[in-house]
């Protein structure tokens, strides 16, 4: 369907976390030099909810997010970064590396409230037209399926895998990286935003943002 937009309702993390994400991204690009760099169109972020939203209802979806935020004490939203991990994203010999996060209970409550609020404006079966693409770029089937299946696969305790994506690396390098000690740290929100998605879950285009109190 071409009347859908693939969106990510996400948390933009604090400055300390951004610096750590960029450092990890630089290391991943040593492993896979043509992997993506974290930049203005590949923002480090913590996904809360991904959905296909009917394009004509985007303003209604923004209103739903804003109302949910107004009913949420965002100072209670926090995560604990606990490890570097990876997922097989369909690239032979490579993995998509993330900073793995342990969400607090308030994060899960916020996710549930967002899902309830935004569901009336969502659809399914999005195509590449729902995403931001570069010239000549195709959206991978794994990306299309991930957004469609985000609910229920990534909703609630035991399912939601909170993370910050930091890039592609070879499986051999990831084996070394993941065996190294990891200094855990706390991640806090600087803003909640809605982005239009690109390939591999990249936050490509800012649609709406709400800064959170410091």
Give the DSSP H or E segment for 195: strand 189-197
3 state SS for 103-150: ECHHHHHHHHHHHHHHHHHEECCCCHHHCCCCCCCCCCHHHHHHHHHH
Mention every residue, 6+ apart, whose C-beta is less than 8 A from residue 159.
152, 153
Beta bridge partners of 193: 10, 209
How do residues 7-37 score in pLDDT, each as one tens digit? 999 999 999 999 999 999 999 999 999 999 9
* Rounded mean pLDDT, 174-199: 96
Q: What is the band of 200 on the pLDDT scale with cuts at 50, 70, 90?
A: confident
Torsion angle, alpha carbons of 91, 93, 98, 100, to 10? 120
How do residues 113-158 score in pLDDT, each as one tens digit? 999 999 999 999 999 999 999 999 999 998 999 999 999 999 999 9
The pLDDT score that the predictor gives to residue 214 is 60
Q: What is the band of 166 on the pLDDT scale with cuts at 50, 70, 90?
A: very high
Computed over every residue of the chain, the mean pLDDT equals: 95
- Size of the chain, expressed as the number of residues it contains: 214
User: Taking the CA atoms of the chain, what radius of gyration do you get in angstroms?
Assistant: 16
The pLDDT score that the predictor gives to residue 40 is 84
> 3-class SS at 45?
coil
CB 4 within 8 A of CB 123: yes
> 3-class SS at 84?
strand
CB 114 within 8 A of CB 9: yes
For the chain, list the domains and their CATH numbers.
4-78+104-163+190-209 (3.90.1140)
The pLDDT score that the predictor gives to residue 2 is 63
The pLDDT score that the predictor gives to residue 17 is 97
Q: What is the band of 88 on the pLDDT scale with cuts at 50, 70, 90?
A: confident
């Amino acid at each position: 369907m071409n009347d859908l937009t693939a969106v990510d309702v996400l948390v933009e993390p604090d400055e300390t976390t951004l610096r750590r994400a960029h450092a990890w991204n630089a290391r991943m690009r040593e492993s896979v030099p043509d992997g993506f760099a974290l930049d203005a169109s590949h923002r480090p972020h913590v996904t809360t909810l991904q959905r296909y939203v009917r394009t004509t209802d985007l303003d209604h979806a923004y209103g739903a997010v804003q109302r949910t935020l107004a009913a949420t004490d965002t100072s209670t939203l926090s995560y604990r970064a606990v490890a570097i991990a990876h997922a097989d994203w369909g690239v032979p010999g490579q993995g998509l590396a993330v900073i793995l996060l342990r969400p607090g209970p308030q994060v899960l409550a916020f996710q549930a409230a967002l899902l309830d609020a935004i569901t009336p404006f969502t659809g399914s079966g999005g195509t590449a037209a729902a995403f931001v693409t570069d010239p000549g770029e195709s959206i991978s089937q794994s990306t299309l399926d991930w957004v469609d299946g985000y609910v229920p696969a990534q909703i609630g305790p035991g399912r939601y895998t909170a993370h910050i994506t930091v890039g592609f690396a070879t499986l051999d390098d990831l084996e070394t990286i993941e065996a190294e000690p990891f200094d855990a740290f706390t991640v806090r929100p600087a803003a909640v935003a809605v982005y239009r998605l690109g390939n591999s879950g990249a936050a490509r285009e800012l649609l709406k943002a709400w800064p959170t109190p410091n």
